[in-house]
Amino acid sequence: MTVAPTPPAGSGGPAAGMAALFRDTYGTEPHGVWAAPGRVNLIGEHTDYNDGFVMPFALPHTTLVAGARRADRTLAVYSADQPGPIAELPLDDLRPGRARPAGVPAWTAYPAGVAWALREAGHDLGGVSLAVRSTVPAGAGLSSSAALEVATALALDHLFGLGLTGPRLARAGRRAENAYVGVPSGIMDQMASACCAAGHVLHLDTRDLTFRQVPFEAAAAGLRLLVVDTGVRHSLADSGYAERRASCEAGAEALGVPALRDIPADGLDAALARLTDPVLRRRVRHVVTENARVAEVAALLAAGRHRAIGPVLTAGHASLRDDFEVSCPELDLVVATATAAGALGARMTGGGFGGSAVVLVEAEAAESVGRAVTEAAAAAGHPVPRVFTTTPSAGARALT
């Protein structure tokens, strides 16, 4: 394991550390400390912006925010992970598209966007000071951005008594990401960060944001979940993600449905027969079959058949590689090597074009599969991946 998870909440560690960071930064006590995790998506990729189904779980790695109200109308943000002094933004001037004041770093768009989104939704916010620190690996496809958005939203919710539910926090985070940061993501990552529960995967319907917590105690079943960060950095701001969204919208329009979620698995052949563009056919096939795979994994987990989900995960990877074309050689090698070395299943997780893979293995095979993946990457001249075991962990929460 090469990435240390956050120490468990309640140990005093993270909360006390964040209070000390806040005191060192602002010279006063914080009014609270909040945590929101990154995520791994077990299955259901590129389905969320098609109103479809997803099944993420929360990582133990979190973004922590310590915060306090202040008397003026300033949003002050400081990150222990980013170089630079405290950034101060006038709360009433926050607008999407407005140039950042000189010297204010790009990462501040996430907390600023959340404050803007909450105000836009009608919530009354005052000035606030926030200090941030994160253990979520950045740029690894593990939703470090969503963790920052949801931790900020939860902090503002508590500091200003907004009384928001998990889905409302998630919506504010997504709005910030889409409109303020300018990344056209779906809502899966924010919902995972806001609503996941320890020991469970989140079976989420992204159309109405209803969800079920599905127990998945991999370790108790004698299994391990590995995350393999390929080290190939991805960006959802790049054109590939937006292009896939546009294809899906074009597919839904051509088929006369509100979203591709409305094409049932048993209607796939008929739908494909109505499309002439081979690229569009592949994109549609991925989304429809991926929604079916989410349902299949949900049924298998409900039946306690944890091992049987492995081939479904691997089939999902093949679909993302061949039909949706969002994988990359480094991810394909991880999946091929892991499955050849005895993993039960493996797939890329998140938006793709780099980032991480998730691998399901028997506990006793975790070491050897991890080693095989690392050695294969080295032999192919790829970046050395970071491999760590993980476990479905808690969603966003107050630590004090």
Q: How far is the CB of 320 from ligand GAF (least distance, A)?
A: 9
Confirm whether 189 is a catalytic residue: yes
Q: Is 202 in the site for ligand GAF (CB under 6 A)?
A: no
Q: Pick the catalytic residue: 51, 157, 189, 323?
A: 189
47 annotated among ligand-binding-site residues: yes
Site for ligand GAF in 228-257 (CB under 6 A): 236
CA–CA distance, 330 with 342 (Å, rounded to integer): 19
By beta-carbon proximity to ligand GAF, the closer residue of 32 and 186 is: 186
Q: Which of 45, 51, 157, 229 binds ligand GAF (CB under 6 A)?
A: 45
Distance CA 5, CA 145 (A): 17
Contact present, 149 and 157 (Cβ < 8 Å): no
Single-letter code of the amino acid located at 380: A
The reply, when asked if residue 79 is annotated as ligand binding, is yes
310 touches ligand GAF (CB under 6 A): no
Whether 249 and 49 have beta carbons less than 8 Å apart is answered as no
Collapsing DSSP to helix, strand or coil, 63 comes out as strand
Nearer to ligand GAF, 374 or 393 (CB): 393
Residue from 30, 350, 392, 395 in contact with ligand GAF (CB under 6 A): 350
Three state DSSP letters for 22-49: HHHHHCCCCCEEEEEEEEEECCCCCCHH
Binding segment toward ligand GAF, per CB under 6 A, in 43-51, 85-93, 298-306, 329-337: 43-51
Neighbours of 39 (CB within 10 A): 32
Closer CB to ligand GAF, 96 or 240, in the complex: 240
Nearest to 206, CA basis, from 136, 258, 282 = 258
User: If binding is defined by CB under 6 A, does position 185 make contact with ligand GAF?
Assistant: yes
Distance separating alpha carbons of residues 319 and 346, to the nearest angstrom: 12
Binding-site residues from annotation = 45-48, 79, 139-145, 177, 241
Enumerate the active-site residues. Answer: 189
Residues forming the site for ligand GAF (CB under 6 A):
45-46, 48-49, 185-186, 188-189, 236, 350-351
